[in-house]
Amino acid sequence: MALKKKVLEDLQVFLPKKAFLVDEQVSNRKAGGLHTEEAIQAEIIVRPESTEEVSKILSVCNQAGQPVIVHGGLTGLVYGTRTSPDQLILSLERMNNIEEIDPIGRTLTCQSGVTLQNIQEKAESENMIFPLDLGARGSCSIGGNISTNAGGNRVIRYGMTRDSVLGIEAVTSDGTILSSMNRMIKNNAGYDLKQLFIGTEGTLGIVTRCVLRLREAPISQNTALVGIENFPSIITFLKHIDSGLGGNMSAFEVMWKEFYEMVTNSLDEKSLPLKKNIPYYVLVESMGSDQVKDEEHFESLLQKALEDSVIVDAVLAKSEKERKALWAFRDDVEKQAQYGPTVMFDVSLPINEMEEYVSKVDLNLQKYWKDFHHIVWGHLADGNLHLVVGTGDLESDTIKKIENSVYEPLEFIGGSISAEHGIGLEKKPYLHLSRSEAEINYMKALKDTFDPKGILNPGLIF
């Protein structure tokens, strides 16, 4: 099947030439994700530069029944941007204007193709922060973050993307512009329609603009990498540091020793912040208001944890350079490529179930394979673990065995198959493990209302 010819002709009437990418400009792009080198399969990419253009494009596509796949920064991890030749790609990459920053109302208004990093930098230039932060910050777009309700490194303090979005402008499948560009924290005037476009993976509409909530920049920041011998001590340390910091904890990231090995095995051991082979590494961070006092307090909390043998080693960043270097280990998830093809998971479950859960997954994998890579890390304080499993190939039978190994014990606990990455195409067969039939039926009813012809990101989620 090919793209509908009439659609292309109609789009060329009102879009300039620079709005279209064709041939190698399309096929040279990768469909996204850490675990795929898959080239994009499509005839054209259409790149509007305004909400009005998005509206006209969708109106043309809806009339023709032309399926549309929405592309942001292509860093999504659940194959949400995979495209077939008969589908039209609509990319938001030219909609990259930051329109306004308001230091009094603490808001930033922008188009949805702006990268997360550009938003962070703009906020910092006004002594504020946009708290959402994740490893793909340089490439991912705010529209993608909103559509996936991205989580990341500071959820424990500031919540998920949803908690930092005040307003949204979106275009629904027939070209209707739904502008809910609210700037207030409080607004209970009827249904909060913007929520329908957060975390719905572009299936109900295309996010074109947004109003984001900024926070005052922290004056102090303290970051440490600590080593921990056993899982119960991670929980003790979490309670100790979170209560000791009195609400200032901004990150608590845990890496199993195999993760630390993965991100450090090309480096000289002497250059590492902590020695290898400690069972768990925790990256902990606080944001406060007085660098000298906060650092002393942070250090004293680490010291107490050392004295009580809750942690076995710790290194505290003494400069911004050292802080970034510690985060670089945690962010270097792309190193998983060294293990060949892998399947990545993003589960959530109660913290006190995690140790046993990971052991059960390991035992399940051992039933099928002698040699395999099983790497675990995650935003543990949010109840969110990432697992990467590599067994040498990605044949469909292999993937199924890996997925069963990971999801079987999760279902038993009542955990979620997607904490922050979404469902996309990849997790779709397992949605029923985390959502009831009634919930899925209501999701389908919403989809039918917003997109009766099913042209927007068809096939995603269910």
Ligand X SMILES: Cc1cc2nc3c(=O)[nH]c(=O)nc-3n(C[C@H](O)[C@H](O)[C@H](O)COP(=O)(O)OP(=O)(O)OC[C@H]3O[C@@H](n4cnc5c(N)ncnc54)[C@H](O)[C@@H]3O)c2cc1C
Closest distance between ligand X and the C-beta of residue 158, in Å?
Answer: 13
Give bridge partners of residue 226 from the DSSP assignment. 282, 314
Please work out the total of residues on this chain that contact ligand X, with binding judged by CB under 6 A. Answer: 38
Instruction: Please give the single-letter amino acid code of residue 304.
Output: K
DSSP string, 168-185: EEEE-TTS-EEEE----S
Comparison of 273 and 378: residue with beta carbon closer to ligand X: 378
Comparison of 34 and 272: residue with beta carbon closer to ligand X: 34
Q: Does 76 help bind ligand X (rule: CB under 6 A)?
A: yes
368-427 residues in contact with ligand X (CB under 6 A) are 420-421, 424
DSSP3 helix / strand / coil % (the chain, rounded to 5):
40, 25, 40
Closest-CB residue for ligand X?
144
Distance CA 424, CA 332 (A): 23
**Piece in contact with ligand X (CB under 6 A), picked from 11-19, 147-155, 174-182, 286-294:** 147-155
Q: Does 134 help bind ligand X (rule: CB under 6 A)?
A: yes
Residue showing tokens 């476009």: 197
Comparison of 92 and 311: residue with beta carbon closer to ligand X: 92
Site string for ligand X, 17-36 (x = CB under 6 A): ---------------x-x--
- DSSP, res 362: H
Closest distance between ligand X and the C-beta of residue 93, in Å?
Answer: 9
Q: Does 81 help bind ligand X (rule: CB under 6 A)?
A: yes
Q: Does 180 help bind ligand X (rule: CB under 6 A)?
A: no
Q: Characterize the bridge pairing of strands 249-256 and 280-288.
A: antiparallel
Give bridge partners of residue 428 from the DSSP assignment. none
Q: Tokens for 82?
A: 């995979």
Q: Does 148 help bind ligand X (rule: CB under 6 A)?
A: yes
Q: Between 257-264 and 320-331, two packed helices, what is the crossing angle to 10 degrees?
A: 110
- Comparing CA positions, the residue from 260, 265, 259, 238 lying closest to residue 387 is 259
Binding residue (CB under 6 A) for ligand X from 62, 141, 223, 233: 141
**Piece in contact with ligand X (CB under 6 A), picked from 144-152, 337-345, 400-408, 442-450:** 144-152
Q: Does 213 help bind ligand X (rule: CB under 6 A)?
A: no
327-366 residues in contact with ligand X (CB under 6 A) are 333-334
Comparison of 312 and 375: residue with beta carbon closer to ligand X: 375
398 alpha carbon, distance to own chain's centre: 25
Q: What is the 3-state secondary structure (H, E, C) of 15-40?
A: CCHHHEEECHHHHCCECCCCCCCCEC
Note the residues at the interface with ligand X (CB under 6 A). Answer: 32, 34, 70-77, 80-81, 92, 112, 134-136, 140-141, 143-145, 147-148, 150-152, 201-202, 206-207, 333-334, 420-421, 424, 457, 460
